[in-house]
Amino acid sequence: MPNKNFEQVVRFYELQSVPAGPSIWLPLVDVTLITQAGSRINLPLLFDTGASVTTLRAEFYSILGLQSWDQGQKVQTSTAGGVKDVYQYVTTLEVFGKTITCPIQLNDQLPSNPLFMGLLGRDTVFNEFGFGFWENTHELYVTENP
Amino acid sequence: MKYSIRSHQDIGEVRANLKAMLTSANPEETLEMLDKIGLEPFVTEEGGLLVRIWTIAAEDFVPREQAAIIRTKRATPEQSDDLDWLSKNLAVIREQYAGKWIAVYEGAVIDHAPALPELLDRISKFDRPLITFIPAEPITWTFTYAQ
């Protein structure tokens, strides 16, 4: 088997959904997005190998300079809740220290969760990195040189 | 290079070694050495050096161009800290900001608003604040990504 080397370790985030309850560990990634006004904001996204495309909550349309969330390319995506219409755009993100221009989809039916504003998905973004996923140690390993 | 070191305790010989390190060593080697002794160095966009635990700063540690290269290779702890802080304080934050968009910066909620554009207008002076929405309804922590 080949050996793989990684330069970064991203620790999962721990929270307790109920006091004194069991811990929940989430593989969250801080992604920087440049707003239409030129300022930079950080968005926590859930690392998701099951997401074909990086996906944000529909409310982020204004950051992309759009008048509404549903004016982009209409795409149908398969989810656990059935086939849904989402809208696709191209934007620039900073992920794991790299600046990447990639497709993103706006989805008005993402679950409302305070710890992530969307999903870090595969299209273009994953091409730039290699990943190792260690559930037991709650760590995501990242290399910029896959 | 100008540098300053402040400490809440006597760090004696370590401080002397750090001064020598900052003035003589290659910046990348300095960062590696600080990593090894557990001081969690962080290079700012302006090229300054910050070190955790003690408040240590070195202006003009590296040129801005070199700082940009170094920053792509190294984690910026203040960013991940905000998410860590949010996850650790989520229960209290949900009580205070349910149904609102919030901006978190350096371990504090710096502003909140019912709508995202309103919040972004007010926090534009902050570099890379963490933005999130605090739902008012109960949160389901096991998920498939659509309703």
For every residue of B39-86, DSSP letters joined together read --EEE-TTS-EEETTTEEEEETSS-HHHHHHHHHHS--HHHHHHHHHH
Q: Which residue has the higher pLDDT, B74 or A135?
A: A135
Q: Which residue has the higher pLDDT, B126 or B56?
A: B126
Q: What would the mean pLDDT of B42-68 be, rounded to a whole number? A: 68
Average pLDDT of chain B is 76
Q: Which residue has the higher pLDDT, B9 or B47?
A: B47
The crossing angle, in degrees rounded to 10, of helices B90-97 and B77-88 is 70
Closest residue of B to A9, CA-based? B75
Q: How confident is the model at residue B35 (pLDDT cuts 50, 70, 90)?
A: confident
Q: Output the pTM of the full model.
A: 0.72
End-to-end CA distance of chain B: 56
Q: Which DSSP helix (H) or strand (E) runs through B20?
A: helix B12-24
Q: What would the mean pLDDT of B61-68 be, rounded to a whole number? A: 79
End-to-end CA distance of chain A: 16
Predicted pLDDT at B53: 47
Q: Which residues pair with A88 in a beta bridge?
A: A73, A105
Using a CB–CB cut-off of 8 Å, the residues of B that contact A are 71-73, 75, 79-80, 82-84, 86-88, 90-91, 93-94, 103, 116-117, 120, 123-124, 126-135, 137, 139-141, 143-147
Q: Which CATH number fits domain A26-127: 2.20.25.570, 3.40.50.720, 3.40.50.300, 2.40.70.10?
A: 2.40.70.10
Query: How does pLDDT run across B67-120, given as a tens digit for each residue?
Result: 777 766 665 554 457 999 998 889 899 999 999 999 999 889 999 999 999 999
Contacts of B80 in chain A (CB under 8 A): 30
Q: What would the mean pLDDT of A70-75 be, rounded to a whole number? A: 94
A114/B146 CB distance under 8 A: no
Q: Chain A closest CA to B47's CA: distance in Å?
A: 16
Predicted pLDDT at A35: 83
Predicted pLDDT at B81: 79
Q: What's B121's DSSP letter?
A: H
Q: How confident is the model at residue B3 (pLDDT cuts 50, 70, 90)?
A: very low
Q: How far apart are CA A91 and CA B56, in angstroms?
A: 37
Predicted pLDDT at B142: 75
A145 in contact with chain B, both atoms CB, cutoff 8 A: no
Query: How does pLDDT run across A95-127, given as a tens digit for each residue?
Result: 999 999 999 999 998 888 999 999 999 999 999
